[in-house]
Amino acid sequence: MIRFFLPLVTVLVVSLSSGHTAPDSSSRFLLSGKTTAQGTPEVGMWAAGMPQSGIEGAGFPILKQARHALIFKDAVEAGGYNHHSQLFYCLGVFYAAWSNHPKGEDAAGQRVLFSQSKDGVNWTKWAEAFPPPSEVRGWGEGFGCYAVAGSWHAYEDSVYATARLYNFVGWENADRTSRTAERDEKHIFQRFEHIGLVARKVGSDGTLGPIFALSTRVNRLTNLDFPFVKYGTPTFQPVADAINQRQPKTLTIQGPLPEPVDNARLVEPAVYETPDKTRVAIIRDDKFSHRKYVSFSTNQGSSWSKALPTNIPDSPSLDIALRTPGGDILLIGNHCASGFDNPQDPKTPSNPYHYDRDTLDVAVSTNGYLFTHTVVLRTGVQAWRVPRKAVRGRGGGPQYPSALIMGDKLYVMYSFGKEDIWCSSVPLSDVLQPSAATAAPAEISSPTPTAITN
């Protein structure tokens, strides 16, 4: 046995003969024995095998029992950018919300749509949850306010949708050291300013209540294109306070993200708690190292270790973490990168930015430190309804999931190519037992949308 030491974490143990040693109370974090291209030791959290480019499902087993239901396909009618899935279940009804825009990702005037279902398969016709907060503009047509689908909330047997409001203010480079008004080869990341949240009641039959603010900062906005009830209004204050004070079911990092040990650009953490009460943040690197980073907290998130590179492959994209009733950790995302530390270079176009975000898979860990297997929920790339170049910021296959477990099934909502919106369901036992995941899944489309009735 060879022992390695990292600052701020306990001893990391690697077995050169067997690959990984199972974590226990004295040796929880593992090094793979490899280093990154920058010479940083790699934390070994992935024992599911490396993805294989050019093979369906990246070479991972595909869930044969997965059922795929189409929530939204009206890109031509409603707008070709659809993303940021938010899935919820309350009192016998599934609720789905997502961001929508006709011209581009997170551009001025982006709105939020929603749909409902009683079984997670048959979904109602989409409707508008939050209208455009400012004039609808494309990337090169000027800045403005946009809305992003936020989490759902339940309060006194009623369900509330939320939207996060941002100002789109320009483009920045990977190091966040310079900003421009126009996107160019060096400035490819959107720069935005968070404004605050708004909410509204959504009835089980799709009826909508007034939009109301969740902070005094939103109250100060004078240029929103829709009316809203100000924060502090007595009629809405109890539900506003409940939404603001409610502990999210999904753990988050409060405050700035952990600093990386190298020059990674970290965004979009997926946070969960291990059986030994350590919090783990699996974090995307937007500099296209095609690997996840990890940070640990042993004080319930009050402080975090520096983020370390792992051997978890990443397209890169958003991951989410979900705990099963039995205590297993599910890490759901696009773990399809077949190589590490290979950002795209114009001279080497074989190094893709996102590996088409194909596949969407579910990785499983019993202890939160080592993901021993993964199974593919969905694979493929989008067949465009609206030409891809007509709507900026789109691409790839199934991505950006939102998930929940209801009964004995896992339900995962996601965008496909950032154009269509789907919900897939699968018996949880098939995810936890790799032998149950073989062959290709059969697809279904939702029938004619139906209304939700009580």
| CA dist list (Å): 377 to 270, 316, 358 | 19, 17, 10
pLDDT of res. 382: 94
On whether the CB atoms of residues 392 and 104 are closer than 8 A, the answer is: yes
The answer, yes or no, to whether residue 88 has pLDDT greater than 70, is yes
| Domains assigned to the chain | 2-436 (2.120.10.10)
pLDDT tens, position by position, 17-57: 233 333 333 345 688 999 999 999 999 999 999 999 889 99
pLDDT of res. 176: 83
- Report d(CA 313, CA 399) in Å as an integer: 15
Of 173, 259, 205, 198, the residue nearest 91 (C-alpha): 205
Residue carrying structure tokens 């320009």: 170
- Report d(CA 307, CA 282) in Å as an integer: 9
Q: How far is CA 174 from the centre of its chain?
A: 20
pLDDT of res. 29: 61
| CA dist list (Å): 68 to 89, 122, 250, 448 | 18, 11, 24, 15
Q: Which residues pair with 271 in a beta bridge?
A: 281
Strand ranges for 350-394 from DSSP E: 360-365, 373-378
Strand ranges for 173-273 from DSSP E: 179-180, 189-202, 212-213, 266-273
> In sequence order, which residues have a C-beta less than 8 Å from that of residue 389 and are 6 or more positions away?
none
pLDDT tens, position by position, 257-316: 999 999 999 999 999 999 999 999 999 999 999 999 999 999 999 999 999 999 999 999
3-state secondary structure of 77: helix
3-state secondary structure of 449: coil
pTM over 0.75: yes
- Report d(CA 48, CA 28) in Å as an integer: 18
Number of helices (H) and strands (E), helices first, in the chain?
A: 4, 26
- Report d(CA 370, CA 365) in Å as an integer: 6
| CA dist list (Å): 185 to 171, 174, 175, 180, 189 | 11, 11, 14, 11, 10
The answer, yes or no, to whether residue 443 has pLDDT greater than 60, is no
3-state secondary structure of 434: helix
Encoded amino acid at 420, one letter: D
Residue carrying structure tokens 């929603």: 114
On whether the CB atoms of residues 368 and 54 are closer than 8 A, the answer is: no
pLDDT bin (cut points 50, 70, 90) of residue 329 is: very high
Share of the chain above pLDDT 90, in %: 72
pLDDT of res. 22: 33
The answer, yes or no, to whether residue 247 has pLDDT greater than 70, is no
pLDDT tens, position by position, 360-392: 999 999 999 999 999 999 999 999 999 999 999
Q: Which residues of 425-445 are buried (b: 16+ CB within 10 A; e: fewer)?
A: bbbbebbbebebbeeebeeee
List the structure tokens of 97. Answer: 């919300």
